[in-house]
Amino acid sequence: MAVPKRKMSRSNTRHRRSQWKTQAPSLVTCVNPQCRAQHLPHTACPTCGQYGPKGERRQVTDAAN
């Protein structure tokens, strides 16, 4: 395991940690004209289940049952 050779000062440590910022996730609008809900990109819409603009061919169904 790598071990630092010298102690890092409190100022340098805090300056380095200040760059760790969180960002709000970018959301996209569902392409389904009836739904138009906001969801994460590259995921199926949680309300209608559609993934992408291809309509019924890209519908995500629940395969648990």
Domain ranges for the chain, please list them. Answer: 25-65
The pLDDT tens digits of the residues spanning 15-50 come to 999 989 888 999 999 988 899 999 999 998 999 888
How buried is residue 44: exposed, middle or buried, by Cβ count under 10 Å (0-12/13-18/19+)?
A: middle
Contact between residue 38 and residue 32 where contact means Cβ atoms under 8 Å apart: no
3-state secondary structure 2-51: CCCCCCCCHHHHHHHHCCCCCCCCCCEECCCCCCCCEECCCCCCCCCCEC
Q: Residue 11, CB half-sphere, CA atoms under 13 Å: how many?
A: 0
- Provide the pLDDT for residue 29: 94
